[in-house]
Structure 1
Amino acid sequence: MRRRAWWLLGLLACMSLSPAQDASTIYRCTDASGEVTIQNGTPCPAGSRQEIRRVEALPTRPAPPPAPLVVAEEPAWTPPPLSDFQQVAGPADESIDAPPRPDLPRAARIAEDARLPPPPIYQCETWDNDSYVSEDPSPGPRCVRLDTGGTGQACENKYDTCARIGQRAECEGWKRRQREIESSWRHARGADRPALQEEFARVTRILTDSTCALPP
């Protein structure tokens, strides 16, 4: 029991020490009734049995300095090494089955030996001595109004006569067909324009994809 009391005495002494003290005196006081009190730095009252214990202060260590702030530096960017390129075609290879250049017009991208002559085209004469070109060798009749002297309305069917244009003049015939469709398209009403525009584009493709696009 005595050892336990002195152990508590030492613990209280350590807790009560201030940073400026090097040692502390602990008083163990026992009064007449046998009650024990522990006093730090204060002697026991008169009439009490007093035991003194001097406790040395533990040396204190200074706080460690703060760790230096280390800023991680990102490594400098290094461009990736250049790839090894191998030339597979050049100016000298253009004569050996070189693919067509994509920036050339449609007519130039088609090989000359793959072009075909344009389809047949016909020049037609009307009953009133007008002419036009057509892809149809037998166009339908025209109902020409007749003069009935005011007794009613009547018309007579008139047929156009058409003949195929020769091969040497076929391209010129198709170009004329293109111009006629373009003229009709530009003077057509709004509802008729889309169909004429599609027909104009179709005839234009025939000219650009056939032998008509080759130089004379």
Structure 2
Amino acid sequence: MRYAWCFAVLACGVLPPAGVQAQHRQVVIYRCTDAGGHVTLQNDAACPRGTREQKQVVDVPPPMPTYQPREERMPAIVAAEKAREQADIESALPPPVAAEERKPPPPLFQCTTWEQENYLTEDETPQERCAPLQVVGLDGAPQAAARACQGVADQCQAVADDALCQAWQRRVGEAEFRWKFAGAADDEARHLEYEQLAATLANSTCAD
């Protein structure tokens, strides 16, 4: 038997015409079979004359509520959380330093990983990373399923004094990007990192 389908019919249910879903909780599905055995399913429209009609009432699920950000659903709670976070951050920051008492910022080191990725750090001890090694069998053929690596230390050198202020500005900018764009906006650890670096820059001679 062949079937002809009209209107929007889905295995999980049939949606009513536009605007009906908001007004009614049910929709009537008509199964129409003509003399040639062709079957048509249609909603809220009776079968034409000359066809055999079967009718079924289907419950239509209510529309999904419009998404609302957490800040809109519970503004007081979110505001209190942000206030607590800001208070915790401010308590961890050093107090402002008067301009005449400011000193040069701490040393920075420009480092490069084995993958040729560059970064700035205050840590003078290079990080060690695991660089993958190609594993071969006894016949010298590569073994794709095998995994091995060796520790490779990052290559680091101290930033020159005359470039230190510019490097610190870049360091602070990168921390701000990680906090606001590279992670979650509510990432307190990244927010604290940014604020601490920004305070170090603001309390140094680089802020002049």
TM-score (norm 2): 0.46
Q: Which has the larger radius of gyration?
A: 1
TM-score (norm 1): 0.44
1 or 2 for the larger relative contact order (CA 8 Å, sep ≥6)?
A: 2
